[in-house]
Every structure is written in C-alpha cells, then in structure tokens.
C-alpha cells in the first residue's frame, strides 16, 4: 500500500469521452486500491463558460454515474461534487492573492478558450487558481490527469512553493501530476491536431462513453486520416492513424508495435472497422452499469456521503492555512 493522497476532477461540461477515460479515469480506478483517493465533479469550474442550469444538473449526475460505471468504488474512493464543499471557494481566494496576472496569462487553456473574445470572463482567467485550491485543500500528493493539464499542475506547485516559502514550509503539501504513458492526449477524430474535448462543437470529433454503436461507427469511419495508406504509428506525420492506434492499444492493452504488425498491409477501412468493434465492446459494460446507477437513490447517497467526508478532510487544512495567514479571530 503506497497510501498517498490522490485528488482529481472532471468538469460536468458534457459527457465523459474516450480522452477523459483513457487519460484520466483509467488512472483514477487503478490508483484507488492502494491510495487514499478523492475524486471530484468540478461543477464550479464548468461555469467559467455559460451553462444551462438544468443541463448542468444533469451533467453533474451523469459524470458521477460514469465515475462509478467505469469502476470507482465509493468504499475505496471519495466521490463528491465540488460546490458542496465551501472550502474550495475559500481557499481559492487566498491563493488568488498569492498568484500573479503574468503567470495566469501564460496558460494555454486560457488563451485558447478566450480566443476571439475581446473581454473574456474573469473566471476563465482565474480557473487554474480554483484548480490549485481543489488540490491543495486535501494535502494532495498525486494528481492523475491528462497531458493538457500539465501547465495547470505546474502553476499549482509554484503557488504552493511560494506560499510555503512565505508562510511556513508545512503550509501546503506540494503535489505531483501523474500522466498515462499511452492515452495522456487523445486527439479529436475530425482534426487530430486538436485534443478530443467535451465542449468542441462537432459531435463527430469525440466518442462519449454513452454513445451508441451507430454514432461510434459514424465518428470512427469518418475520422480524418491521410493519403499515405500505411498503418504506422507516427504522430507527427500521421496524427490521425496514430490516434486511432493509440485508442485501439489503450482499450485492448495491446502495444502499438503489435498493432502495426497486426494491420500490416491492411487498409484504413479495416483498422477503422476493427476499432468500431473494440470501442463498442469496451463501452457496453460501462453503459450497462451507468443505466443501473444513474437514476438510483444510491447515487445521491454516495455523493452526499462523499461531500461530508471530503468536508471533514478539508476543514482542518483550511483552518491551518487561515491560521498561517493570520486570518480570523
Ligand atoms: P472541456 O472540453 O469542457 O474543457 P475536457 O474534455 O477537456 O473538457 P475536462 O473535464 O477538462 O475535459 O478534463 C477531465 C480530465 O480528462 C483531465 O484530467 C484532462 O486532462 C483529461 N483529458 C481531457 N481531454 C483529454 C484528452 N483528449 N486526452 C487525454 N486526457 C484528456
Ligand atoms: N482543470 C481540470 C479539471 C480540474 C482538476 C482539478 C483536475 C479541476 N480541478 C483538480 C485535477 C485536480 C481539467 O481537466 N480541465
């Protein structure tokens, strides 16, 4: 038992897709046997872009049910919704006062999400501070995430080190990011130079864990490839085919080199057809479990119990930090 504190979160901006699953959730499940894991549905992060209230509520419960459906066990891991524990917002303010506009303006996610807008929502700019608060509030050692979050994790570490230096070395535990070897960055099917994302406009750019066979087939068969006609892993020159091989390998546990041999001489259509079967078969048991859990009372009980347990861990950490800063009476 390595017994480290693990924390991570997913935004309820839509249904979890293969990128989230292969980059983040697979790690969540693997870590829970040997560590003290806390997994959050970060609803306050999702309102950095406008959300329909009714849809948001549904997405929160969808993501929670998907957490359980992919194998998170509430006996082993704490599963809860961010806005149910007020310490996230409180610590976020303290960290806001200890971060710089310069470092925040360098965040690539902010740059890409605010692109084209003359005046972007402030929350989009301070988003990484709330993320740092999520992590530091639980004395987290390890943060399993996809590659796209590397810059945010580094910023969280910088803030923690900065505060420790000023207010005492034991104010915050300084966390480390953890990334998958394969699957840390799954690319969009329609444009393999962009990452697969929940909020991309084109539905065919991603495969959600709840998609039916028809949609899976359509998205994969239409996936952008190249005109070279050889099935080879070469992300730079063949990003589309390399992405399909990565998904195939990660879902089946097959090394990509073995897939290259298996599909040697085959056409792109053969690889795609075979991948449709792999994806459909991998998602079927997850969808069955999702359907059992999503509308059950048990789901709400698990989330209520999760926020109670998370709150109990967060409270003394927040007290410690406030004390170091001289806040309160
Ligand atoms: P949005 O499009 O709304 O920004 P998202 O699809 O990027 O959402 P998040 O909720 O921001 O998803 O991310 C949840 C987790 O999934 C994070 O750990 C993130 O790094 C990981 N992740 C997101 N997209 C990918 C991807 N394409 N490949 C691998 N991991 C990913
Ligand atoms: N920013 C993350 C989601 C997130 C998160 C966190 C991940 C919010 N808070 C804390 C790990 C730890 C993203 O994937 N966009």
pLDDT per residue over 260-294, tens digit each?
999 999 999 999 999 999 999 999 999 999 999 99
Half-sphere exposure of 312 (CA within 13 A, CB side): 6
The pLDDT score that the predictor gives to residue 42 is 98
What is the largest distance, in Å, between two alpha-carbon atoms of the chain?
73
d(CA 127, CA 80): 19
d(CA 151, CA 319): 28
Task: Give mean pLDDT, residues 112-119.
Answer: 81
Residue identifier of the C-alpha nearest atom 8 of ligand 1: 198
Task: Give mean pLDDT, residues 122-138.
Answer: 97
Q: How far is the CA of 194 from the centre of ligand 1 (A)?
A: 12
Q: Which of 145, 154, 160 to mutate to test the pocket of ligand 2 (most atoms within 8 A of CB)?
A: 145
Task: Give mean pLDDT, residues 289-307.
Answer: 98
Q: Which of 148, 177, 242, 250 to mutate to test the pocket of ligand 1 (most atoms within 8 A of CB)?
A: 148
305 and 235 in a common domain: no
Residues that are catalytic: 113, 195, 198
Half-sphere exposure of 77 (CA within 13 A, CB side): 27
d(CA 218, CA 222): 6
Q: How far is the CA of 49 from the centre of ligand 2 (A)?
A: 15
The pLDDT score that the predictor gives to residue 129 is 98
303 and 283 in a common domain: no
Q: How far is the CA of 20 from the centre of ligand 1 (A)?
A: 5
Which alpha helices (H) appear in 9-137, and where do they start and end?
Answer: 18-20, 26-31, 43-46, 53-69, 87-96, 101-105, 108-113, 122-136
DSSP 22: I
Task: Give mean pLDDT, residues 56-82.
Answer: 98
Task: Give mean pLDDT, residues 90-112.
Answer: 95
Is ligand 2 within 6 A of the CB of residue 11? yes
301 and 285 in a common domain: no
The pLDDT score that the predictor gives to residue 293 is 98
Greater model confidence, 259 or 119: 259
Domain around 37: 5-184+297-325
229 and 122 in a common domain: no
Q: The CATH number of the domain where 93 resides is what? A: 3.40.50.620
Q: pTM of the predicted model, to two decimals?
A: 0.96
The pLDDT score that the predictor gives to residue 1 is 57
């Amino acid at each position: 038992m390595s017994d480290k504190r693990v924390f991570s979160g997913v935004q309820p901006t839509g249904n979890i897709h293969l990128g989230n699953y292969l980059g983040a959730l697979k790690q969540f499940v693997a870590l829970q046997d040997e560590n003290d894991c806390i997994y959050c549905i970060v609803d306050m992060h999702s309102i950095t872009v406008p959300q329909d209230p009714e849809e948001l509520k549904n997405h929160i419960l969808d993501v929670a049910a998907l957490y359980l459906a992919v194998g998170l066990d509430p006996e082993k891991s704490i599963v809860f919704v961010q806005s149910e524990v007020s310490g996230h917002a409180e610590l976020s303010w303290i960290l806001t006062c200890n971060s710089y506009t310069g470092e925040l303006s360098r965040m690539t996610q902010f740059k890409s999400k605010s692109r084209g807008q003359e005046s972007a929502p402030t929350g989009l700019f301070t988003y990484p501070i709330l993320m740092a608060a999520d992590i530091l509030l639980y004395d987290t050692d390890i943060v399993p995430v996809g590659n796209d979050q590397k810059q945010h994790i580094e910023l969280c570490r910088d803030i923690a080190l900065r505060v420790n230096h000023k207010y005492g070395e034991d104010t915050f535990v300084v966390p480390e990011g953890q990334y998958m070897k394969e699957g840390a960055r799954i690319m969009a099917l329609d444009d393999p130079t962009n990452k697969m994302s929940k909020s991309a406009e084109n539905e065919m750019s991603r495969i959600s864990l709840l998609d039916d066979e028809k949609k899976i087939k359509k998205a994969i068969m239409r996936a952008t490839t190249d005109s070279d006609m050889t099935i080879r892993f070469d992300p730079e020159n063949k990003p589309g085919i390399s992405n399909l091989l990565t998904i195939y390998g990660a879902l089946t546990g097959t090394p990509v080199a073995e897939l290259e041999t298996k599909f040697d001489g085959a056409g792109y259509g053969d690889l795609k057809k075979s991948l449709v079967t792999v994806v459909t078969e991998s998602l079927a048991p997850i969808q069955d479990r999702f359907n059992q859990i999503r509308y059950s009372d048990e789901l709400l009980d698990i989330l209520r119990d999760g926020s109670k347990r998370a709150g109990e861990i967060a409270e003394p950490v927040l007290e410690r930090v406030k004390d170091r800063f001289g806040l309160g009476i």
